[in-house]
C-alpha cells in the first residue's frame, strides 16, 4: 500500500508555472481522497526556465526521493523533451546505481529516458501515467480506465493484468480553468489487434515513447542527445533484448508516417527485431495515422515470427493503463489480456 508520494519534475518544469495552478490543485485534492501524503521535491515547482537551465537540480530531486525511505512512490510531474540531460549527474559517479531502492517509479513520454536509466541499473519501473496529465485531468474525474490502474498500483504496488478500454478519448487541447469539469469526447474502442505472429507470447517489457527512442539515435531535436546516450550506453545491446517485448507508443506531436518509418528502421538496424519475442504498440492520439503506422510496422519489420499487438491503451492517447517494466508479461490475444507475473 502506497502512503507517501514524492513528485519530481525530471524534464519540463511546467508544474511550477502559474497557468497550471488550477490543475495542480485538482490533482492534490484527488490524491488526498486516496489518503496519500504528497511532497514535491525541492526543485519540482521552480518552473520551466529554472529547470531548463539546471538539469543537475532535477537529478538531485530524483536521488533525494530514492534515498529517503519514507517515500513509497516517485511520481513524475509530466514529460518534456530533455531529461536525457540528467545522464551525467546520475551516472558519472554511479549516483543512480547507489541510490536505487524498492520504490514505485511512475512516468511516461520523455520519461522513457529515465525508464532506460533505471533499467541500466537494475530497478523495475512502471510506465504509463503522470501527475499533471492524469491525476490533474480537469474533467469531473480521472477517466475511469486510467483511475482503475492508478488505484490498483497504489493499493497493491503492482499491476496484475491489463485489458483494452471500451472507449478512447480525443486529445484535450484546452486546459484552461474555464474548461474545468468538461468531459473528453469519447469513441468506441476496437480492442487489441494482432498484426502478425503468435497470439500468445511472453517476455519482460521495455520501451516507451517512440519519439524519445528516436532521439536516442538522432540529434534533430538536440544535437547532444545521441552523443550522451552513446557515452552512457543507455540503449541496451542487442543481446539484452533477447526474449523481451518492445513497447512503442507515440506522442502528441503525431509523428509523420515518414519519420515513424525512419524510427522503426533505426530500431531494425539495431537488430532487436531479430531477437525480441514481440512488440506492443500504443494507440496513436486521436487515431491519427492509425492505419499508416500499422502498414509501416508490417512492411519495415517484415518478420512474421514476431508477434505485433497494436492499439494498446498505453502512452499519450487517453485513457491510459500502467505497464510494469522488468517483470514477465504473458500476452494472450485470445483473451485480449496481458498478465504480469510478480
Task: Provide the grid cell at 340.
Answer: 504480469
pLDDT of residue 304: 86
Contact present, 150 and 142 (Cβ < 8 Å): yes
Task: Provide the grid cell at 173.
Answer: 487541447
In this structure, what CATH number is given to the domain that contains residue 74? 3.40.50.10740
Task: Provide the grid cell at 342.
Answer: 510478480
- The answer on 175 and 152 residing in a single domain is no
Domain boundary among 106, 139, 161: 161
- The answer on 336 and 284 residing in a single domain is yes
Measured from the Cβ of residue 32, the count of other Cβ atoms closer than 10 Å reads 11
d(CA 215, CA 229): 9
- The answer on 150 and 177 residing in a single domain is no
Contacts of 295 (CB under 8 A, 6+ apart): none
Q: What is the DSSP letter of 175?
A: -
- The answer on 249 and 131 residing in a single domain is no
- The answer on 199 and 152 residing in a single domain is no
Report how many domains make up the chain: 2
Contact present, 207 and 113 (Cβ < 8 Å): no
- The answer on 175 and 87 residing in a single domain is no
Domain boundary among 101, 136, 161: 161
Q: What are phi and psi of 298, to 5 degrees?
A: -70, -45
- Give the residue numbers spanning the domain of 174: 167-341
Rounded alpha-carbon distances, angstroms, from residue 167 to 26, 133, 248? 24, 18, 20
In this structure, what CATH number is given to the domain that contains residue 235? 3.50.30.60
Contacts of 20 (CB under 8 A, 6+ apart): 14, 132, 136, 175
Rounded alpha-carbon distances, angstroms, from residue 2 to 108, 129, 158? 19, 16, 11
Domain boundary among 161, 194, 211: 161
- Tens digit of each residue's pLDDT, the chain (342 residues): 999 999 999 999 999 999 999 999 999 999 999 999 999 999 999 999 999 999 999 999 999 999 999 999 999 999 999 999 999 999 999 999 999 999 999 999 999 999 999 999 999 999 999 999 999 999 999 999 999 999 999 999 999 999 999 999 999 999 999 999 999 999 999 999 999 999 999 999 999 999 999 999 999 999 999 999 999 999 999 999 999 999 999 999 999 999 999 999 999 999 999 999 999 999 999 999 999 999 999 999 988 899 999 999 999 999 999 999 999 999 999 999 999 999
- The answer on 268 and 325 residing in a single domain is yes
- The answer on 219 and 189 residing in a single domain is yes
Amino acid at each position: 500500500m502506497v502512503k507517501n508520494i514524492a513528485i519530481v519534475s525530471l524534464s519540463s518544469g511546467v508544474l511550477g508555472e502559474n497557468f497550471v495552478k488550477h490543475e495542480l490543485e485538482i490533482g492534490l485534492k484527488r490524491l488526498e481522497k486516496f489518503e496519500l501524503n504528497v511532497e514535491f521535491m525541492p526543485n519540482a515547482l521552480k518552473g520551466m526556465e529554472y529547470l531548463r537551465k539546471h538539469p543537475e537540480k532535477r537529478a538531485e530531486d530524483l536521488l533525494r526521493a530514492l534515498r529517503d525511505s519514507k517515500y513509497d512512490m516517485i511520481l513524475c510531474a509530466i514529460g518534456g523533451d530533455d531529461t536525457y540531460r540528467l545522464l551525467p549527474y546520475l551516472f558519472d559517479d554511479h549516483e543512480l546505481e547507489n541510490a536505487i531502492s524498492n520504490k514505485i517509479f511512475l512516468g511516461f513520454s520523455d520519461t522513457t529516458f529515465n525508464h532506460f536509466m533505471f533499467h541500466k541499473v537494475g530497478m523495475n519501473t512502471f510506465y504509463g501515467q503522470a501527475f499533471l496529465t492524469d491525476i490533474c485531468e480537469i474533467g469531473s474525474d480521472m477517466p475511469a480506465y486510467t483511475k482503475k490502474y492508478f488505484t490498483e498500483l497504489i493499493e497493491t504496488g503492482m499491476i496484475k493484468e491489463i485489458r483494452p478500454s471500451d472507449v478512447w478519448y480525443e486529445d484535450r487541447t484546452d486546459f484552461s480553468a474555464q474548461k474545468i469539469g468538461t468531459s473528453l469526447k469519447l469513441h468506441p474502442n476496437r480492442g487489441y489487434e494482432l498484426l502478425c505472429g503468435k497470439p500468445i507470447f511472453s517476455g519482460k517489457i521495455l520501451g516507451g515513447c517512440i519519439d524519445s527512442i528516436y532521439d536516442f539515435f538522432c540529434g534533430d531535436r538536440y544535437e547532444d542527445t545521441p552523443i550522451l546516450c552513446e557515452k552512457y550506453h543507455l540503449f541496451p545491446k542487442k543481446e539484452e533484448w533477447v526474449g523481451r517485448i518492445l513497447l512503442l507508443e507515440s506522442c502528441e506531436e503525431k509523428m509523420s508516417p515518414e519519420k515513424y518509418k525512419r524510427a522503426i528502421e533505426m530500431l531494425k538496424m539495431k537488430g532487436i527485431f531479430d531477437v525480441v519475442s514481440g512488440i506492443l504498440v500504443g494507440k496513436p492520439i486521436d487515431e491519427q495515422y492509425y492505419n499508416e503506422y500499422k502498414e509501416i510496422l508490417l512492411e519495415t519489420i517484415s518478420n512474421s515470427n514476431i508477434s505485433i499487438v497494436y492499439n494498446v491503451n498505453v502512452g499519450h492517447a487517453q485513457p491510459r493503463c500502467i505497464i510494469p517494466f522488468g517483470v514477465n508479461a504473458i500476452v494472450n490475444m485470445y483473451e485480449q489480456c496481458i498478465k504480469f507475473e510478480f
